[in-house]
Structure 1
């Protein structure tokens, strides 16, 4: 049995934002190669915070 991979904020943001295509590709490859992944609640909250900051910058 393999342990699930904990995805951190950097991996998910690179994948979602795709601001650096090489990094986004590596993030996708990590997820694809893993039999199971999980996202800690702290990562979910950090991504939400980044999203809210982005909204405030655009307005």
Structure 2
């Protein structure tokens, strides 16, 4: 999404508004999921996709 969709203050406010936590994501927001999949806790997980997107979806 990055630079293409965040080119103005209005765009930033829009994406903050449509995100469930009412803020834009930060690199720190993916740490938990990455650690989970990199750890033995996910040893029995196969073929999954986890959307770490703050509830933002495109339609």
User: What TM-score results when the alignment is normalised by the length of structure 2?
Assistant: 0.30
Relative to total residues, which structure has the larger helix share, 1 or 2? 1
Q: Which has the higher contact order (CA 8 A, sep 6+)?
A: 1
- Bigger Rg, which one: 2
User: What TM-score results when the alignment is normalised by the length of structure 1?
Assistant: 0.30
Relative to total residues, which structure has the larger strand share, 1 or 2? 1
